[in-house]
Structures are given as structure tokens and as C-alpha cells.
Amino acid sequence: MLRIRNLKCFYGRIQAVKGVSLSVEAGEMVTLIGANGSGKSTLLQSICGLMNGWQGDIRFEDRSLKGLDPPRIVRRGISLVPEGRQIFPPLSVRDNLDLGAYTLHRQGRKQEVRETLERVLTLFPVLRERARQAAGTLSGGEQQMLAIGRALMARPRLLLLDEPSMGLAPKLVSRILGTLVTLREEGLTILLVEQNARAALQVADRGYVFETGQVVLQGSAGELLEDEDVKRAYLGRDYGDFYDGKA
């Protein structure tokens, strides 16, 4: 469904992504894990058209995304839940959701907007209760639900999430990731960028491990969870064990 070949991204002279290739098949949940600054977010921004001047090839449903602006990419069926949620705090929860459906509204697809809104509010009942409240008054977890809801309002076929667990209590993290599992079961394809590697690998089908702008490892989520390097670097197993082994 999504096929990236030899992607290179630059910030001025600094290369943030150094020739990455990856793919996401329809109906899959794939996760990109890796440390801060390893180029995961840059990759997502390139897919969404928020990052100009990347090289390589990004194809969605066999059509290139090169040179498309964000509104066109949203219309192609890709929605982003941005890092740090990026909701619109002074606007009401309802307005935030309606903004997610901007492209649908523009095409006059009112009935679809109503249906999608109903679906989102069923998925996150708390948003229905707070529909008229300013989005800035929501708690962190609720804001994350709103950000996901807003992305769903565009009726994407591929949902990209940039660190949805950031700053959330463990209980909320599993609530949010549980929602993603539900969405995938309904047929949505998901690409999840996470620093919380363990949580992400527990819900995903496959994973890619990023390091300084490159994919250093890939495999099924189960394999990665068992991989010694991944355990050492990302799953927080005691470093001491390895030093002992090497010595």
C-alpha cells in the first residue's frame, strides 16, 4: 500500500534520513522505533508533504506522492496524527473534529462527514461529552484522542501516528494503543512511530528499527521483541548483562 524506496531527507546540509526503504501492506500495523533524532518524524513528514525537497520514491497505492502538498495527500487517503498532538486549543472539540474533515466538507460530502463524526464519537465517547468545550481544557489523554479523532475525520485509508504515547501515563498509553488495534481490525492500515518500543511492538505486526537516519533492523514484531540488540538498546534490559558477556 505504502512503498518507500531509498528516501533521503535534508535539513539544509544535514541529512536526517539516509536512504531508507520500507513498505506497509494494506491492513497492517507497522511501527518505526528508534531513539530521538533518528529521523522517524522526518520520514512521516515527507510522506505527508510537510517536508520539502526529499529524494527517492514514496508511492501510495502505486502512485507517487512526489510534489504533492498536504491537502492533496490528505485527499489521497493519508492522515497524520502529529507529534505533540497539535490540536487547536481555543477552538471547541467539535470544531477541531470538523477541521479534520475540511477536505470532505469542501467536496460537499456532508453525509460522510456525519457518519464519520458519529464513528469517532463512538470510538471516543469522552469527546462527545466535551464536544462544546475548548480543546485546550482537555487532559493530555483526551487531547491525544482528539488528535486521532481529527485525523480519522478525513476518512484515511492509511493513518500515520507520530509518538502518540508521548507524555501519557502507562494506563493511557495502553488505552490509546488499544484503540489502534480496534481500528486495524476495522481494516485501517497504520504506520506508528514510537519511542516506547515495547508498547509499540506489542500491538504492531511488523517493525523497523531506526538509527541515525537508517533502518538497522526489521522483522515481525515478535522477532524484534526477542532480538538481543533491540532488547539492549530499546527495551531497557540491563546494560550490565552485555558488558559482562563481552568481557
Partner 1 sequence: MVRPSLHNLVPYAFFVVLVGSAGLWVDNPYYFQILSMIGIHALLALALNLLMGYAGQISLGHAAFYGIGAYASALLSARYGLSPWLALPCAMLAAGLVALVVGYPTLKLSGYYLGMGTLGIGMIVFIVFREWSSVTGGASGFVGIPPLGLGGRALLDVRSYYFLVWAVVLLALCGSQRLIRSRVGRALRSIHDSEAAARAVGIPTSRLKLQVFVLSAVMSAVAGFLYAHMVGFISPDTFSFIVSVKLVTMVVIGGMASIWGALLGAALLTLLPEVLHAFAEFEMVVYGLILMTVMIFLPQGLTRGILDIYALRRRQSERAARPAD
* Interacting residue ranges for partner 1, rule: CB under 8 A: 48, 50, 69-71, 73-75, 79-80, 82, 86-91, 95, 98-100, 102-103, 105-106, 150-151, 154
Cβ 64 to partner 1, closest distance in Å? 18
User: Nearer Cβ to partner 1, position 6 or 52?
Assistant: 52
Cβ 155 to partner 1, closest distance in Å? 11
Cβ 204 to partner 1, closest distance in Å? 23
Side-chain-side CA neighbours of residue 48 (13 Å): 20
User: Nearer Cβ to partner 1, position 80 or 203?
Assistant: 80
User: Nearer Cβ to partner 1, position 37 or 89?
Assistant: 89
d(CA 16, CA 155): 30
Q: What are phi and psi of 67, to 5 degrees?
A: 75, 5
Across the chain, how many H-helices and E-strands are there? 12, 10
Cβ 217 to partner 1, closest distance in Å? 29
Task: Give how far Cα 206 sits from Cα of 1, 102, 141, 164, 211, Å.
Answer: 14, 32, 25, 18, 17
Give the residues across from 217 on adjacent strands.
209
Cβ 80 to partner 1, closest distance in Å? 5
User: Nearer Cβ to partner 1, position 88 or 242?
Assistant: 88
d(CA 68, CA 136): 31
Q: Tell which residue, 31, 68, 21, has the closest CA to residue 48.
A: 68
CB 102 within 8 A of CB 110: no
User: Nearer Cβ to partner 1, position 32 or 197?
Assistant: 32
Give the residues across from 80 on adjacent strands.
160
Q: Which one-letter DSSP state was computed for residue 166? A: T
d(CA 200, CA 208): 11
User: Nearer Cβ to partner 1, position 49 or 207?
Assistant: 49
